[in-house]
Amino acid sequence: MKEKNLEPAQQVLVAEVFKEAMQPFNYENVGGMPFLGVDGISMVGHGGSTPKAIFNMISNAMHCVEVELNQRILTSLN
C-alpha cells in the first residue's frame, strides 16, 4: 500500500484495518458453500483448500444439518 498522503505509521494502521475487514471474505474462514438443489448436504470448496478451509467446510456442513437447511428451503418454496 503506497498512499502518498499517509505517514508510514498510518499506512500500517490502514493495512491492518483493511486486512481485518476482509476476513469474512477469506475462503479459509468460510470453507465452502452449500451446493443447493441436491437431496442432502453437499459443500463446494476451492480446489486448493487448506486444512483450515476443509475443517471450516465440514463445520458448515454440520451446521446445515443441525438447522435442517434442506427442510427449511423446501418449506419456504411450498
**β-bridge partners, 43:** 34
Listed residue (45, 43, 38, 41) closest to 65, CA to CA: 41
Give 11-57 pLDDT, tens digit per residue: 888 888 988 888 888 888 888 888 888 888 999 988 889 999 999 99
Grid coordinates representing 12? Answer: 500500517
Q: Is the pLDDT of residue 1 over 60?
A: no
Instruction: Give the residue among 73, 49, 74, 70 at the shortest CA–CA distance from 61.
Output: 70
- Against a cut of 0.75, is the pTM above it? no
pLDDT of residue 60: 92
Domains of the chain, residue spans: 8-77
**Backbone phi and psi for residue 33, each to the nearest 5 degrees, phi listed first:** -120, 150
Q: What is the model's pLDDT at position 30?
A: 82
Residue 62 CA to residue 41 CA, distance in Å, equals 9
